[in-house]
Each structure stands twice: as C-alpha cells, then as structure tokens.
Amino acid sequence: MAAVLNHDELEGFAEALHELLEALHEALTDELNEIEHVRHLLRRTGQGCSERQSALDVARRLNLAHLQHHLLSIADCNAALERINRGSFGCCHQCGEAIELNRLRADPLIITCLCCHG
C-alpha cells in the first residue's frame, strides 16, 4: 500500500535527509582526523607512560563507536533516499501500512509504523 505523502512532503523529507547526510559526512571527517591525531600521539608516546597510553586507547575506542554509528546512519540515510526514489518511503517495512507522519518528521530514518515498532 502506498504512503499518503504528497510530492511536497517527499521533497521536504529528501531535503532533510540530504542535510543530515552532509552533517554526518562532516562529523565523520572530524572523527577520522581525531583518530589520526590520537594514532599519531600513540606512536610518539612510546612505552613509558602507560596511563597516558590507556587514556588515549579509551579516546580511540569512543571515537570508533561514534564512527560506526555515523557510518550506519549514513547507510540508513541513503536507504531512505532510495525509498523516496522508489516511491516506497513512508511505508512500514513490516505491515506495508503508511508510517505516521509525526513519527517520520521526528525521524525520517524509521522504517516501521507505531504498531510494528513493538
């Protein structure tokens, strides 16, 4: 069953998704630079200072968690844009019914209606 979104609404969602993608790409670039910086520090620190080393390890792990989250979000964004192109955006992946508009507005990446969300 087709979603009840009109052309303008779809355009609005596409625009929001593009903006989100841009922000995610920026965040990713920053994170990659940060990780590179930490790696550089770790290489220079040597064996002596274990406290500093483990602190840097923690920082690196946190960044990787963010990085992974952002990579997944980028994949979700691209999938949502593809659904807009295919005309299936706004349809619940489980039951095929239209996803509530307020839910989509709050998060254009969701793929299930309130009932199927569990």
| Contact set with Zn ion (CB under 5 A) | 92, 94-95, 113, 116
Nearer to Zn ion among residue 77 and residue 110 (C-beta):
110
Taking the C-alpha atoms of residue 38 and residue 43, their distance in angstroms, rounded to an integer, is 9
Nearer to Zn ion among residue 4 and residue 95 (C-beta):
95
Under DSSP, is residue 5 helix (H, G, I), strand (E, B) or coil? Answer: coil
Q: How far is the CB of 96 from Zn ion (least distance, A)?
A: 7
Nearer to Zn ion among residue 92 and residue 104 (C-beta):
92
Q: How far is the CB of 10 from Zn ion (least distance, A)?
A: 19
DSSP 62: H
Nearer to Zn ion among residue 24 and residue 80 (C-beta):
80
Taking the C-alpha atoms of residue 88 and residue 91, their distance in angstroms, rounded to an integer, is 6
Q: How far is the CB of 117 from Zn ion (least distance, A)?
A: 8
Instruction: Tell me which amino acid residue 70 is.
Output: H
Taking the C-alpha atoms of residue 96 and residue 90, their distance in angstroms, rounded to an integer, is 9
Cβ neighbours of 101 (radius 10 Å) = 13
Q: How far is the CB of 93 from Zn ion (least distance, A)?
A: 8
DSSP 95: T
